[in-house]
Every structure is written in structure tokens, then in C-alpha cells.
Structure 1
Amino acid sequence: MAEKRNIFLVGPMGAGKSTIGKYLAQQLHMEFYDSDHEIERRTGADISWVFDVEGEEGFRDREEKVINDLSELQGIVLATGGGSIKSKESRNRLSARGIVVYLETPVEKQLARVQKDKRRPLLQTEEAPEDVLKRLAAERNELYLEIADYVVRTDEQGAKLVANHIAELIGL
């Protein structure tokens, strides 16, 4: 039997990477991983605590290692953190080790999904959440596109339908 390819979901916070990833993994009978949850498991603390203690740079170092470790597995669906693509090494690893699906979502939809979520450190600032999301989109959208094998919009369909669409796109 041919070895299973990995599927890596990238995109901004609130795009639905974790929710869609779980459905996709279930549908394809693959293991599901979430890089943020793996960081929390390894550190024994939540993402906000890691940001508070180590700053974004410390968090990104941890994230890069987790993505390296997880992307070496075979036959997984991995939901990455929204900023994971800031690392050139992570972009290269994701691109080389699997199929990358960019879950594209407009800022308005992201805002509706995440504005009350206190577990998102980048939104816990004096800056208005909408301004943060717009700034992050300007910084990151080209990086998502750079490594994407497929681009799928997540703002008009439910997570199960998006997962079905991804499975059809990649021929699994």
C-alpha cells in the first residue's frame, strides 16, 4: 500500500483549521493533530501562559519544533497555528512533507468567530481585534499562498462540507 500523504491546514485564526481538520481526519481515517494543542501538551500550560512567560519569539521557537516533529509523521492531518508560517523552516517543512491547504477566511468572518475568545494572545492587546486581524492578514496572506497546494474558502459553508470539499480536491 502506498504511504499516506500528510495534509497540513494553514490559515489565520478563526479560519476553522482545528474544526475542519478533525472532520477531515475522521473522514479519511487519519490521525489529527493541532500544533497549538501539542505545544500545550508538551509545556503543560496553555498558549497564553507561554506567550506571557516566553513572549511570541519563545512561542514561535516551540511551534517550529512541534511542526518539525509532527510533519515527520505519516498519514496525519495537522492544523497549524495561524502564525506558524512566519518561520521559513516551517514553511519549507510543510511544503515538502505533505499537501498544504490554505483555509482562506475574510477578516469579518474571523472577527465574528474569535473576538470573544480569551485564549488568543495576539488579540489580548489595546489594539482593536479587527485592526489586529487586518494587520496579521497583510503580513501573512502571501506566506500562506506561497506554500498552498490548494486554497479553500471557509466562510460560506459548514466545517463538514469544507472537509468533504478538501477530500475531493486532493483526491482522497
Structure 2
Amino acid sequence: MVETTQDTAGHGASSPAAPTRAGSRDASDHALDRAFGQSVLAQIDRPIVLVGLMGAGKSCIGKRLSSHLGLPFVDADREIEAAAGCSIPDIFASHGEQAFRDGERRVIQRLLGNPVHILATGGGAFVDPSTRALVKERGLSIWIRADLDLLLKRVSRRNDRPLLQNVDPRAKLAELIELRHPFYEQADIIVDSADGPPEVTLGRVMEALHDHFAKAKGNAS
């Protein structure tokens, strides 16, 4: 994993290097420079998989990252809905969460077999052991991390989150943070989501990718 705020043990799918983490510094113009982006792109050999809780900004950042790097963007939740022929809330209501997770696992497995792209996953995907193993084997995972207050502010803009129906959103998010963060910490890269323009978080992602590849190259030499 990659994170500049602290050194935490971890491992990635393609390199024994310690995790790379980013989030303590603001995005620089250099991180969003086209030449910088091309140098990062040249080193990407597998799908980049964004993981994290609802409201962290996975789809928002994923779309911007795909545009910046010139790679396709895929939202796993939208692919699941297309495969099921109905919305995720409908899947939860009609078939339950376990049926959704089973379908999610199959869809992500299929998507990870596609050429290099940016893949945004649902909040529970990386928690599933089989899905997490697939991502570690075939992808480069990035945890978009956000604190409780930021998540709460963002999820309040939508009312279609199945896990937030008929519950106290703050309490539920706090519960999910407790349950899921230990799994997200196994991602190859960790980036703190900024409470501001998405370009700030995008810049952090680009810096973290650069640092990750530099560290892997250094360990291989």
C-alpha cells in the first residue's frame, strides 16, 4: 500500500513492497500534469480497483482518473444492475444482501478479466474474502478513505442506499467503519479523500500511484 501519513505493514498483489499511502499533502499541479500522467500510465499493467465506503467518492474520482489517464471507467454497481435487470435497492429488497454479494462477486470477477481500466466497487465488495482475493490477484487496489463526518455529508445527498434505509445514518456508518476498515487497510494504496474539489483527491491518487510504482521498482532493483 502507499500512504505518506504513516508506515503501516501490508502487501500488494503484484509486489512485496510495503503499502503506499497518500493524503498528508495537497495535490500539486505536477501530479495532474499530462506528462506526469503518461509516466504513471506507462506502468499500469492491470485494472485499478477503487474500494471504500459509500460516500468516499470512488465513482467521482474513478471517472476523473479514467479521463486523466485515458482509460475506460467501469462502475461495478451499474454492471450488477445491468446483469440483474433491476436496481440494487430492488435486489436487496427482493433477494437479500447475500444474493447481491454473490452477484457482485461474479460481476467483479468478469470485469477483472477485461483490459486495463478503472473499476469503482461497492462498499462491501472488498470485504468479501473471495472478491478481495480476486482484486489482489488481478488488480491494483486503492482505498479512498474518508472520515465519518465527510461520509455522512455525502451520503445525505442520496436516499437510495440500501444499508441506510430505516436506520440512523451516522450510527450505521460508524458501524461500517468499525467493521470494514480492517479490510480496506489491505489495499495496495490508501488515499485520503479531500473535503473539497475532486481534483485535490485526484492529485493525491496520482501521487500515490507514482510513489507505489517507484517503491516497487526500487525493491526490484
Partner residue of 1:143 out of 183, 206, 213: 183
Aligned to 1:111: 152
Aligned residue pair count? 170
Task: Note the C-alpha offset of 1:44.
Answer: 1.8
Matched, 1:97 2:138: yes
Q: Secondary structure at the match of 1:94?
A: helix
Cα pair 1:17 1:80 within 8 Å, conserved: yes
Partner residue of 2:90 out of 49, 64, 70: 49
Aligned to 1:68: 109
Superposed structure 1 runs of 4+ greater than 6 Å apart = none
Cα pair 1:14 1:114 within 8 Å, conserved: yes
Residues 115-124 or 97-106, more deviating: 115-124
Q: Secondary structure at the match of 2:130?
A: helix
Aligned-residue identity in percent: 35
**Any stretches of 5+ residues in structure 1 without a counterpart?**
none
**Any stretches of 5+ residues in structure 2 without a counterpart?**
1-41, 214-221
Q: Distance in 2 between matches of 1:25 and 1:161?
A: 15
CA RMSD, 1 decimal: 1.7
Q: Distance in 2 between matches of 1:2 and 1:114?
A: 34
Task: Note the C-alpha offset of 1:116.
Answer: 4.3
Q: Secondary structure at the match of 1:155?
A: coil
- The alignment's TM-score, normalised by the length of structure 2, stands at 0.73
Q: Distance in 1 between matches of 2:164 and 2:178?
A: 16
Q: By percentage of residues, which structure has more helix?
A: 1
- The alignment's TM-score, normalised by the length of structure 1, stands at 0.92
Cα pair 2:191 2:208 within 8 Å, conserved: no
Amino acid at match of 1:23: R
Amino acid at match of 1:62: G
Cα pair 1:101 1:150 within 8 Å, conserved: yes
Deviations 1:79-106 (A, max 9, x none): 0000112211100111111211100001
Aligned to 1:129: 169
Task: Note the C-alpha offset of 1:167.
Answer: 2.1
